[in-house]
Amino acid sequence: MHGPSPETKHPMEGFPQVCFIRNTVRNPNIIIGEYTYYDDPEDAEDFERNVLYHFPFVGDRLIIGKFCAIARGVRFIMNGANHALSGISTYPFYIFGNGWEGAEPAAADLAYKGDTIVGNDVWIGYETLIMPGVHIGNGAIVSARSVVVRDVPPYTIVGGNPAQPIRPRFAPDVIARLEAVAWWDWPIQKITAHLDRITGADVDALEAVAASR
């Protein structure tokens, strides 16, 4: 056996609050990697309710990598939440019509920040809020109830409001080596065979496995 099937919704029998959300998300602009799970006793299958202001006409995407752990109440604010800042008022008159259509701002006046991207093997803590266009690097950890307003480097622990770096998990040269190894892209048979190296702290040993067939 090589772990739970990535095609199952609930990989822990009798424990439905954990869900492999790749199998439940239907929005084509939300892209989830294999084995990424959401933990929520209320309704783990309805992860999409936590992706806010995600309007199809805006076109931005939420991309989350493989093997991520997402705690209950994590929310993503998407670009549809942005109001124009170029004028005196930020009130979106135009969306209500009835004679106010002419107040629609130019696209350039709306603060579009692009796709929101979460890397692989990222742990996002309870009730974290992630703002539009943020990129969270591989192996990062986001502390509970953080508000993430800027990019998070790979293998860095951040926390607070706004979230600030607490410390890197490894030295810069080690982080570069881990990025190169990219164990999450190995075949699942290889991952299973070398879990001790992936969960251990010996980077040399992990690189040796990566180099082997």
For residue 37, give every residue at least 6 positions away whose Cβ sits within 8 Å of its Cβ, in sequence order, or none. Answer: 11, 18, 19, 20, 21, 68, 69, 70
> Which two structure tokens, joined as six digits, stand for 199?
């969960």
pLDDT at 105: 86
3 residue type, one letter = G
Domain boundaries, the chain: 18-169, 171-213
Spatial separation of the C-alpha atoms in residues 124 and 40, rounded to whole Å: 13
Determine contact, residues 13/43, Cβ cutoff 8 Å: no
pLDDT at 30: 98
Active-site positions?
Answer: 83
Please give the model's pTM, rounded to 2 decimal places.
Answer: 0.94
Q: Which fold has domain 18-169?
A: UDP N-Acetylglucosamine Acyltransferase; domain 1 (2.160.10)
pLDDT at 110: 82
For residue 28, give every residue at least 6 positions away whose Cβ sits within 8 Å of its Cβ, in sequence order, or none. Answer: none
pLDDT at 77: 98
- Among candidates 38, 114, 118, which has minimal Cα distance to 72? 38
pLDDT in 10s for each residue of the chain, 213 residues? 789 999 999 999 999 999 999 999 999 999 999 999 999 999 999 999 999 999 998 899 999 999 999 999 999 999 999 898 888 999 989 889 999 988 888 877 888 899 999 999 999 999 999 999 999 999 999 999 999 999 999 999 999 999 999 999 999 999 999 999 999 999 999 999 999 999 999 999 999 999 987
pLDDT at 59: 92
pLDDT at 170: 97
Q: pLDDT digit string (tens) for 119-178?
A: 999 999 999 999 999 999 999 999 999 999 999 999 999 999 999 999 999 999 999 999
Q: pLDDT digit string (tens) for 129-144?
A: 999 999 999 999 999 9
